[in-house]
Amino acid sequence: MDTTLGQLAVHYDLITEEELEHCLSLQEVTDPPAFLGEIMVQHGYLRQSTLDRLLGTQKKMHHEGDPTSGRFPHVEVADRLGRGNLSEFFRVQVELDADDLHLAAGARPCARIHGVMQRLNPTLLSAERVEALLRPILDDTQREALRRDKSALFLHTEEGVGRFRAAVYEQAGGLGAVFRRIHEELPRLETLNLPPIVKKVPQIRRGLVLVTGPRGSGKTTTLATIIDQINHTRRCHVVMLERPTEYVVQSRASMVSQREVGRDAPDFKSALRSALREDPDVIVLGELATPEQIMTALTAAETGHLVLGTLHTTNAYRTLVRIQDAYSGRKRVMVRGMLANLLKLVICQRLVPSKQGDRLWLAAEVLTVTSAVANMIRENRVHQIPQAMQTSRAESMQLMDDALAALVLDGKIDAAEAVSLADDRSKLLKLEG
Protein backbone atom coordinates (compact mmCIF):
# COMPACT_ATOMS: atom_id res chain seq x y z
CA MET A 1 0.00 0.00 0.00
CA ASP A 2 2.98 2.32 0.52
CA THR A 3 3.71 2.37 -3.20
CA THR A 4 0.12 3.37 -3.96
CA LEU A 5 0.31 6.11 -1.32
CA GLY A 6 3.40 7.53 -3.00
CA GLN A 7 1.76 7.37 -6.43
CA LEU A 8 -1.28 9.19 -5.08
CA ALA A 9 0.93 11.92 -3.61
CA VAL A 10 2.67 12.39 -6.97
CA HIS A 11 -0.64 12.30 -8.84
CA TYR A 12 -2.11 15.13 -6.75
CA ASP A 13 1.11 17.15 -7.17
CA LEU A 14 1.78 17.00 -3.42
CA ILE A 15 5.33 15.80 -4.02
CA THR A 16 7.56 15.32 -7.04
CA GLU A 17 8.75 11.96 -8.35
CA GLU A 18 12.28 12.84 -7.17
CA GLU A 19 10.97 13.53 -3.64
CA LEU A 20 9.10 10.23 -3.66
CA GLU A 21 12.24 8.37 -4.72
CA HIS A 22 14.13 10.08 -1.89
CA CYS A 23 11.52 9.00 0.67
CA LEU A 24 11.50 5.42 -0.64
CA SER A 25 15.28 5.26 -0.39
CA LEU A 26 15.08 6.48 3.21
CA GLN A 27 12.43 3.85 3.94
CA GLU A 28 14.75 1.10 2.67
CA VAL A 29 17.53 1.95 5.14
CA THR A 30 15.40 2.42 8.27
CA ASP A 31 15.29 -0.48 10.72
CA PRO A 32 12.58 -1.41 11.39
CA PRO A 33 11.11 -0.05 8.09
CA ALA A 34 9.24 3.20 8.65
CA PHE A 35 5.84 4.01 7.24
CA LEU A 36 6.23 6.01 4.00
CA GLY A 37 3.69 8.60 5.09
CA GLU A 38 5.62 9.28 8.28
CA ILE A 39 8.82 9.81 6.31
CA MET A 40 7.09 12.29 3.98
CA VAL A 41 5.79 14.23 6.99
CA GLN A 42 9.10 14.10 8.92
CA HIS A 43 11.04 15.51 5.99
CA GLY A 44 8.53 18.30 5.34
CA TYR A 45 7.08 16.96 2.09
CA LEU A 46 3.55 16.63 3.52
CA ARG A 47 1.59 18.05 6.41
CA GLN A 48 -0.08 15.57 8.76
CA SER A 49 -3.54 16.80 7.75
CA THR A 50 -2.70 16.26 4.08
CA LEU A 51 -1.40 12.77 4.84
CA ASP A 52 -4.64 11.93 6.69
CA ARG A 53 -6.73 12.93 3.68
CA LEU A 54 -4.45 10.97 1.36
CA LEU A 55 -4.76 7.88 3.55
CA GLY A 56 -8.54 8.22 3.43
CA THR A 57 -8.45 8.22 -0.37
CA GLN A 58 -6.09 5.23 -0.40
CA LYS A 59 -8.30 3.30 2.02
CA LYS A 60 -11.39 3.94 -0.09
CA MET A 61 -9.63 2.70 -3.23
CA HIS A 62 -8.52 -0.56 -1.62
CA HIS A 63 -11.80 -1.10 0.20
CA GLU A 64 -13.82 -0.85 -3.01
CA GLY A 65 -11.40 -3.17 -4.79
CA ASP A 66 -12.24 -1.53 -8.09
CA PRO A 67 -9.36 -0.74 -10.46
CA THR A 68 -11.27 2.31 -11.69
CA SER A 69 -12.28 3.71 -8.29
CA GLY A 70 -10.94 6.97 -6.95
CA ARG A 71 -9.53 9.88 -8.91
CA PHE A 72 -6.33 7.95 -9.49
CA PRO A 73 -6.57 4.40 -10.88
CA HIS A 74 -5.56 1.44 -8.77
CA VAL A 75 -1.90 0.52 -8.97
CA GLU A 76 -2.91 -2.53 -11.02
CA VAL A 77 -4.16 -0.24 -13.79
CA ALA A 78 -0.94 1.77 -13.71
CA ASP A 79 1.03 -1.48 -13.97
CA ARG A 80 -1.07 -2.60 -16.95
CA LEU A 81 -0.31 0.62 -18.77
CA GLY A 82 3.36 0.38 -17.92
CA ARG A 83 3.64 -3.02 -19.58
CA GLY A 84 0.86 -2.99 -22.17
CA ASN A 85 0.59 -1.95 -25.79
CA LEU A 86 -1.78 0.70 -27.16
CA SER A 87 -4.69 -1.75 -27.09
CA GLU A 88 -4.32 -1.91 -23.29
CA PHE A 89 -4.52 1.89 -23.08
CA PHE A 90 -7.76 1.80 -25.07
CA ARG A 91 -9.21 -0.88 -22.78
CA VAL A 92 -8.43 1.26 -19.72
CA GLN A 93 -9.96 4.29 -21.45
CA VAL A 94 -13.20 2.38 -21.96
CA GLU A 95 -13.16 0.96 -18.41
CA LEU A 96 -12.76 4.45 -16.95
CA ASP A 97 -15.47 5.82 -19.28
CA ALA A 98 -12.97 8.45 -20.44
CA ASP A 99 -13.79 10.61 -23.44
CA ASP A 100 -10.17 11.34 -24.38
CA LEU A 101 -6.85 9.58 -23.96
CA HIS A 102 -3.70 11.77 -24.07
CA LEU A 103 -0.23 10.38 -24.77
CA ALA A 104 2.87 12.50 -25.31
CA ALA A 105 6.62 12.07 -25.07
CA GLY A 106 7.95 13.51 -21.83
CA ALA A 107 4.54 13.53 -20.11
CA ARG A 108 2.44 11.16 -18.01
CA PRO A 109 -0.45 9.44 -19.82
CA CYS A 110 -3.74 11.18 -19.00
CA ALA A 111 -7.43 10.75 -19.67
CA ARG A 112 -10.28 13.25 -19.64
CA ILE A 113 -12.94 11.67 -17.44
CA HIS A 114 -16.22 13.57 -17.12
CA GLY A 115 -14.47 16.74 -18.20
CA VAL A 116 -11.49 16.47 -15.83
CA MET A 117 -7.94 15.56 -16.89
CA GLN A 118 -6.60 12.74 -14.72
CA ARG A 119 -3.26 10.96 -14.75
CA LEU A 120 -3.30 7.26 -15.49
CA ASN A 121 0.27 6.48 -14.49
CA PRO A 122 2.84 8.48 -12.49
CA THR A 123 5.63 7.47 -14.88
CA LEU A 124 6.70 9.80 -17.71
CA LEU A 125 6.45 8.37 -21.22
CA SER A 126 9.72 8.36 -23.13
CA ALA A 127 9.85 9.39 -26.79
CA GLU A 128 10.77 5.78 -27.68
CA ARG A 129 7.78 4.41 -25.73
CA VAL A 130 5.32 6.77 -27.45
CA GLU A 131 6.83 5.98 -30.85
CA ALA A 132 6.44 2.25 -30.18
CA LEU A 133 2.81 2.75 -29.13
CA LEU A 134 1.74 4.92 -32.07
CA ARG A 135 3.67 3.83 -35.15
CA PRO A 136 1.88 0.45 -35.55
CA ILE A 137 -1.53 2.12 -36.05
CA LEU A 138 -0.32 4.52 -38.77
CA ASP A 139 -0.72 3.48 -42.40
CA ASP A 140 1.29 4.94 -45.29
CA THR A 141 -1.17 7.79 -45.87
CA GLN A 142 -1.11 8.82 -42.23
CA ARG A 143 2.68 8.59 -42.04
CA GLU A 144 2.91 10.85 -45.07
CA ALA A 145 0.47 13.34 -43.50
CA LEU A 146 2.53 13.29 -40.30
CA ARG A 147 5.71 13.91 -42.28
CA ARG A 148 4.16 16.66 -44.43
CA ASP A 149 1.82 18.44 -42.00
CA LYS A 150 3.37 17.37 -38.67
CA SER A 151 -0.05 15.95 -37.72
CA ALA A 152 -2.49 13.27 -38.86
CA LEU A 153 -6.22 12.99 -38.16
CA PHE A 154 -7.93 9.66 -38.75
CA LEU A 155 -10.33 7.07 -37.37
CA HIS A 156 -8.90 4.04 -35.58
CA THR A 157 -10.84 0.87 -34.82
CA GLU A 158 -9.47 -1.36 -32.08
CA GLU A 159 -10.92 -4.83 -32.54
CA GLY A 160 -13.05 -5.88 -29.57
CA VAL A 161 -12.61 -2.49 -27.85
CA GLY A 162 -14.16 0.31 -29.88
CA ARG A 163 -13.64 3.17 -32.33
CA PHE A 164 -11.53 6.24 -31.69
CA ARG A 165 -10.89 9.52 -33.49
CA ALA A 166 -7.11 9.82 -33.49
CA ALA A 167 -5.05 13.00 -33.70
CA VAL A 168 -1.34 12.18 -33.85
CA TYR A 169 1.10 15.10 -33.90
CA GLU A 170 4.73 16.06 -33.51
CA GLN A 171 5.68 18.08 -30.43
CA ALA A 172 8.78 19.03 -28.50
CA GLY A 173 10.57 15.85 -27.58
CA GLY A 174 8.70 13.42 -29.82
CA LEU A 175 5.21 12.34 -30.84
CA GLY A 176 1.92 13.04 -29.08
CA ALA A 177 -1.63 11.81 -29.63
CA VAL A 178 -5.18 12.33 -28.46
CA PHE A 179 -7.78 9.60 -28.91
CA ARG A 180 -11.45 10.59 -28.65
CA ARG A 181 -13.72 7.64 -27.92
CA ILE A 182 -16.70 7.28 -30.26
CA HIS A 183 -19.68 5.61 -28.64
CA GLU A 184 -21.37 2.98 -30.75
CA GLU A 185 -24.91 4.00 -29.88
CA LEU A 186 -26.21 7.53 -30.38
CA PRO A 187 -28.36 9.06 -27.63
CA ARG A 188 -31.89 10.11 -28.50
CA LEU A 189 -32.28 13.81 -29.25
CA GLU A 190 -34.69 14.34 -26.35
CA THR A 191 -32.16 12.99 -23.82
CA LEU A 192 -29.42 15.55 -24.59
CA ASN A 193 -30.81 18.34 -22.36
CA LEU A 194 -31.23 20.59 -25.41
CA PRO A 195 -34.05 23.18 -25.59
CA PRO A 196 -37.24 21.77 -27.17
CA ILE A 197 -36.84 23.87 -30.34
CA VAL A 198 -33.84 21.73 -31.35
CA LYS A 199 -36.16 18.72 -31.75
CA LYS A 200 -37.75 20.59 -34.69
CA VAL A 201 -34.49 20.84 -36.66
CA PRO A 202 -35.15 17.55 -38.55
CA GLN A 203 -38.34 19.15 -39.89
CA ILE A 204 -36.50 22.08 -41.50
CA ARG A 205 -36.41 21.65 -45.27
CA ARG A 206 -33.93 24.35 -46.34
CA GLY A 207 -31.47 26.82 -44.85
CA LEU A 208 -28.43 26.68 -42.55
CA VAL A 209 -28.27 25.25 -39.00
CA LEU A 210 -25.05 25.63 -37.00
CA VAL A 211 -23.98 23.65 -33.94
CA THR A 212 -21.14 25.45 -32.16
CA GLY A 213 -18.98 25.16 -29.06
CA PRO A 214 -15.38 24.55 -27.98
CA ARG A 215 -13.67 21.25 -28.70
CA GLY A 216 -15.08 18.44 -26.61
CA SER A 217 -18.49 20.08 -26.17
CA GLY A 218 -20.47 17.33 -27.89
CA LYS A 219 -21.06 19.07 -31.24
CA THR A 220 -20.43 15.93 -33.28
CA THR A 221 -22.81 13.91 -31.11
CA THR A 222 -25.59 16.52 -31.38
CA LEU A 223 -25.14 16.74 -35.15
CA ALA A 224 -25.11 12.97 -35.56
CA THR A 225 -28.22 12.65 -33.36
CA ILE A 226 -30.09 15.18 -35.51
CA ILE A 227 -29.08 13.25 -38.63
CA ASP A 228 -30.18 10.01 -36.98
CA GLN A 229 -33.64 11.46 -36.37
CA ILE A 230 -33.87 12.71 -39.97
CA ASN A 231 -32.77 9.25 -41.08
CA HIS A 232 -35.61 7.60 -39.15
CA THR A 233 -38.42 10.11 -39.86
CA ARG A 234 -37.89 11.49 -43.37
CA ARG A 235 -37.61 9.96 -46.82
CA CYS A 236 -34.75 11.96 -48.27
CA HIS A 237 -31.11 11.80 -49.35
CA VAL A 238 -28.57 12.85 -46.71
CA VAL A 239 -25.01 13.51 -47.88
CA MET A 240 -22.41 13.74 -45.10
CA LEU A 241 -18.97 15.22 -45.87
CA GLU A 242 -16.63 14.65 -42.92
CA ARG A 243 -12.98 14.45 -41.93
CA PRO A 244 -12.77 11.84 -40.54
CA THR A 245 -16.03 9.89 -40.57
CA GLU A 246 -16.86 9.21 -36.91
CA TYR A 247 -20.38 7.79 -36.58
CA VAL A 248 -21.32 5.22 -39.20
CA VAL A 249 -24.97 5.85 -40.14
CA GLN A 250 -27.00 3.02 -41.66
CA SER A 251 -29.73 4.13 -44.08
CA ARG A 252 -33.23 3.78 -42.63
CA ALA A 253 -36.17 5.80 -43.97
CA SER A 254 -33.60 8.06 -45.65
CA MET A 255 -30.67 7.19 -47.87
CA VAL A 256 -27.45 8.30 -46.17
CA SER A 257 -24.22 8.76 -48.14
CA GLN A 258 -21.07 9.33 -46.10
CA ARG A 259 -17.91 10.64 -47.77
CA GLU A 260 -14.63 11.19 -45.97
CA VAL A 261 -12.73 14.23 -47.20
CA GLY A 262 -9.16 13.23 -47.93
CA ARG A 263 -10.13 9.66 -48.71
CA ASP A 264 -13.34 9.75 -50.83
CA ALA A 265 -12.80 13.32 -52.05
CA PRO A 266 -9.66 15.50 -52.19
CA ASP A 267 -11.19 18.55 -50.43
CA PHE A 268 -14.48 20.05 -49.22
CA LYS A 269 -14.98 22.21 -52.31
CA SER A 270 -14.81 19.33 -54.79
CA ALA A 271 -16.77 17.09 -52.41
CA LEU A 272 -19.60 19.64 -52.25
CA ARG A 273 -19.54 20.19 -56.01
CA SER A 274 -20.01 16.45 -56.41
CA ALA A 275 -22.65 16.29 -53.67
CA LEU A 276 -24.81 18.92 -55.38
CA ARG A 277 -25.03 16.62 -58.40
CA GLU A 278 -26.18 13.70 -56.24
CA ASP A 279 -29.76 14.92 -55.65
CA PRO A 280 -29.29 15.72 -51.93
CA ASP A 281 -31.96 17.00 -49.54
CA VAL A 282 -29.68 17.41 -46.50
CA ILE A 283 -25.95 18.17 -46.61
CA VAL A 284 -23.73 17.79 -43.53
CA LEU A 285 -20.43 19.63 -43.84
CA GLY A 286 -18.91 19.03 -40.42
CA GLU A 287 -16.48 21.71 -39.21
CA LEU A 288 -16.50 25.06 -41.05
CA ALA A 289 -12.93 26.06 -40.28
CA THR A 290 -12.04 28.33 -43.21
CA PRO A 291 -13.71 31.18 -45.16
CA GLU A 292 -13.94 28.82 -48.13
CA GLN A 293 -15.80 26.20 -46.09
CA ILE A 294 -18.17 28.83 -44.64
CA MET A 295 -18.94 30.10 -48.15
CA THR A 296 -19.41 26.49 -49.25
CA ALA A 297 -22.09 26.02 -46.57
CA LEU A 298 -23.88 29.26 -47.47
CA THR A 299 -23.82 28.43 -51.17
CA ALA A 300 -25.23 24.95 -50.55
CA ALA A 301 -28.02 26.38 -48.37
CA GLU A 302 -28.76 28.99 -51.05
CA THR A 303 -29.48 26.23 -53.56
CA GLY A 304 -32.46 25.07 -51.48
CA HIS A 305 -30.96 22.39 -49.24
CA LEU A 306 -30.84 21.96 -45.48
CA VAL A 307 -27.17 22.38 -44.54
CA LEU A 308 -25.77 21.44 -41.13
CA GLY A 309 -22.31 22.43 -39.91
CA THR A 310 -20.22 23.13 -36.81
CA LEU A 311 -18.02 26.01 -35.64
CA HIS A 312 -15.68 26.47 -32.68
CA THR A 313 -17.45 29.44 -31.08
CA THR A 314 -18.88 29.83 -27.58
CA ASN A 315 -22.14 31.73 -28.18
CA ALA A 316 -24.45 32.87 -30.96
CA TYR A 317 -23.13 36.44 -31.03
CA ARG A 318 -19.52 35.28 -31.44
CA THR A 319 -20.64 32.83 -34.13
CA LEU A 320 -22.07 35.63 -36.26
CA VAL A 321 -19.04 37.86 -35.64
CA ARG A 322 -16.67 35.00 -36.55
CA ILE A 323 -18.44 34.39 -39.87
CA GLN A 324 -18.52 38.07 -40.81
CA ASP A 325 -14.90 38.67 -39.78
CA ALA A 326 -13.79 35.94 -42.17
CA TYR A 327 -14.51 38.38 -45.02
CA SER A 328 -13.92 42.04 -45.83
CA GLY A 329 -15.36 44.79 -48.00
CA ARG A 330 -18.23 43.97 -50.33
CA LYS A 331 -17.87 40.27 -49.65
CA ARG A 332 -18.68 40.87 -45.96
CA VAL A 333 -21.84 42.76 -46.92
CA MET A 334 -22.81 39.91 -49.25
CA VAL A 335 -22.22 37.31 -46.51
CA ARG A 336 -24.39 39.28 -44.05
CA GLY A 337 -27.21 39.23 -46.59
CA MET A 338 -26.80 35.49 -47.15
CA LEU A 339 -26.78 34.80 -43.40
CA ALA A 340 -29.89 36.91 -42.87
CA ASN A 341 -31.74 34.96 -45.58
CA LEU A 342 -30.42 31.45 -44.90
CA LEU A 343 -29.54 31.01 -41.22
CA LYS A 344 -32.32 29.25 -39.29
CA LEU A 345 -30.84 28.23 -35.95
CA VAL A 346 -27.60 28.48 -33.98
CA ILE A 347 -27.10 25.94 -31.19
CA CYS A 348 -24.13 26.73 -28.92
CA GLN A 349 -23.26 24.14 -26.31
CA ARG A 350 -20.91 23.26 -23.48
CA LEU A 351 -20.43 20.14 -21.40
CA VAL A 352 -20.15 20.95 -17.69
CA PRO A 353 -18.95 18.53 -14.97
CA SER A 354 -21.65 17.56 -12.49
CA LYS A 355 -21.43 18.34 -8.78
CA GLN A 356 -20.56 14.72 -8.06
CA GLY A 357 -17.99 14.55 -10.88
CA ASP A 358 -19.64 11.43 -12.28
CA ARG A 359 -21.00 12.82 -15.55
CA LEU A 360 -21.26 15.87 -17.80
CA TRP A 361 -24.33 18.08 -18.21
CA LEU A 362 -25.04 19.84 -21.49
CA ALA A 363 -25.77 23.58 -21.33
CA ALA A 364 -27.07 25.09 -24.57
CA GLU A 365 -27.70 28.52 -26.01
CA VAL A 366 -30.16 28.72 -28.91
CA LEU A 367 -30.66 31.57 -31.37
CA THR A 368 -33.72 31.33 -33.59
CA VAL A 369 -33.38 33.60 -36.61
CA THR A 370 -36.66 35.50 -36.62
CA SER A 371 -37.36 38.37 -39.02
CA ALA A 372 -36.14 40.80 -36.34
CA VAL A 373 -32.86 38.89 -35.88
CA ALA A 374 -32.44 38.62 -39.66
CA ASN A 375 -32.70 42.42 -39.92
CA MET A 376 -30.06 42.83 -37.19
CA ILE A 377 -27.71 40.58 -39.14
CA ARG A 378 -28.40 42.31 -42.46
CA GLU A 379 -27.94 45.79 -40.98
CA ASN A 380 -24.75 44.84 -39.07
CA ARG A 381 -26.40 45.18 -35.64
CA VAL A 382 -25.40 41.77 -34.33
CA HIS A 383 -24.29 43.36 -31.01
CA GLN A 384 -28.02 43.77 -30.28
CA ILE A 385 -28.76 40.07 -30.63
CA PRO A 386 -27.93 38.99 -27.02
CA GLN A 387 -30.42 41.53 -25.70
CA ALA A 388 -32.99 40.42 -28.26
CA MET A 389 -32.50 36.82 -27.14
CA GLN A 390 -33.02 37.83 -23.51
CA THR A 391 -36.43 39.31 -24.36
CA SER A 392 -37.49 36.67 -26.92
CA ARG A 393 -38.00 33.53 -24.87
CA ALA A 394 -41.40 33.13 -26.51
CA GLU A 395 -39.46 32.50 -29.73
CA SER A 396 -37.70 29.54 -28.02
CA MET A 397 -34.43 31.43 -27.60
CA GLN A 398 -32.11 30.81 -24.67
CA LEU A 399 -28.85 32.41 -23.54
CA MET A 400 -25.96 30.27 -22.30
CA ASP A 401 -26.02 32.05 -18.93
CA ASP A 402 -29.68 31.08 -18.45
CA ALA A 403 -28.89 27.46 -19.30
CA LEU A 404 -26.04 27.44 -16.77
CA ALA A 405 -28.24 29.08 -14.12
CA ALA A 406 -30.93 26.43 -14.64
CA LEU A 407 -28.38 23.65 -14.07
CA VAL A 408 -27.21 25.35 -10.87
CA LEU A 409 -30.76 25.78 -9.56
CA ASP A 410 -31.50 22.12 -10.35
CA GLY A 411 -28.49 21.13 -8.23
CA LYS A 412 -26.71 19.54 -11.20
CA ILE A 413 -23.58 21.71 -11.35
CA ASP A 414 -21.67 23.95 -8.94
CA ALA A 415 -22.30 27.69 -9.10
CA ALA A 416 -18.55 28.30 -9.20
CA GLU A 417 -18.29 26.14 -12.32
CA ALA A 418 -21.15 28.07 -13.93
CA VAL A 419 -19.53 31.42 -13.10
CA SER A 420 -16.28 30.35 -14.77
CA LEU A 421 -18.17 29.64 -18.02
CA ALA A 422 -20.62 32.55 -17.98
CA ASP A 423 -20.63 35.48 -20.40
CA ASP A 424 -22.19 37.78 -17.77
CA ARG A 425 -20.63 36.58 -14.52
CA SER A 426 -22.57 39.03 -12.33
CA LYS A 427 -25.78 37.14 -13.00
CA LEU A 428 -24.26 33.79 -11.97
CA LEU A 429 -22.41 35.22 -8.97
CA LYS A 430 -25.77 35.84 -7.30
CA LEU A 431 -26.38 32.08 -7.37
CA GLU A 432 -22.97 31.26 -5.89
CA GLY A 433 -23.98 32.62 -2.50
Domain at 148, CATH number = 3.30.450.90
Listed residues 180, 213, 240: the one ending a domain = 180
Answer for the pair 58, 5: CB distance below 8 angstroms, yes or no.
Answer: yes
Please, what's the b/e burial string for 384-420 (b: 16 or more CB within 10 A of its CB; e: otherwise)? ebbebbeebeebbbbbbbbbbbbbbeeebbbbebbbe
**Domain assignment present for 430:** no
Taking only the tens place, the pLDDT of each residue in 358-371 is: 899 999 999 999 99
Return the sign of the alpha-carbon dihedral for residues 331, 333, 335, 338: negative
**29 or 249: which leads in pLDDT:** 249
User: Quick one: what percent of the chain has pLDDT higher than 90?
Assistant: 60
The number of residues making up the chain comes to 433
Asked whether residue 151 falls in the same domain as residue 200, the answer is no
Measure Cα distances from 343 to 163, 258, 375 in Å: 33, 24, 12
Chosen domain end from 154, 180, 206:
180
pTM of the model: 0.80
- Among 124, 153, 180, which residue terminates a domain? 180
Q: What is the per-residue pLDDT for 65?
A: 44
Residue 338: give its domain's CATH number: 3.40.50.300
3-state percent helix, strand, coil for the chain, nearest multiple of 5: 45, 20, 30
Looking at the fold, whether 328 and 233 belong to one and the same domain comes out as: yes
Task: Write down the H helix ranges in 200-257.
Answer: 219-233
Same domain membership, residue 218 and residue 103: no
Could you give phi then psi for residue 85, rounded to 5 degrees? -90, -170
Q: Is 264 exposed, middle or buried (0-12, 13-18, 19+ CB in 10 A)?
A: middle
Claim to verify: residue 343 and residue 381 sit in the same structural domain: yes
Q: What does the mean pLDDT of the chain come to?
A: 89
Exposed, middle or buried by CB within 10 Å (0-12, 13-18, 19+), for 227? buried
Residues 210 and 324 in one domain: yes
- Is 141 in the same domain as 175? yes
Number of domains in the chain: 2
Residues 209 and 155 in one domain: no
Residue type at position 48: Q
One domain for residues 276 and 161: no
- 144 with 206, same domain: the answer is no
DSSP three-state, residue 311? strand
**pLDDT score recorded for residue 50:** 79
* 207 and 223 Cβ atoms separated by less than 8 Å: no
Closest CA to 47 of 56, 38, 34: 38
Stretch 345-359: mean pLDDT:
92
Q: What is the pLDDT of residue 278?
A: 93
In this structure, the answer to whether residues 173 and 244 fall within a common structural domain is no
Looking at the structure, tell me whether residues 116 and 195 fall in a common domain: no
Can you give the residue range of the structural domain that contains 71? Answer: 2-180
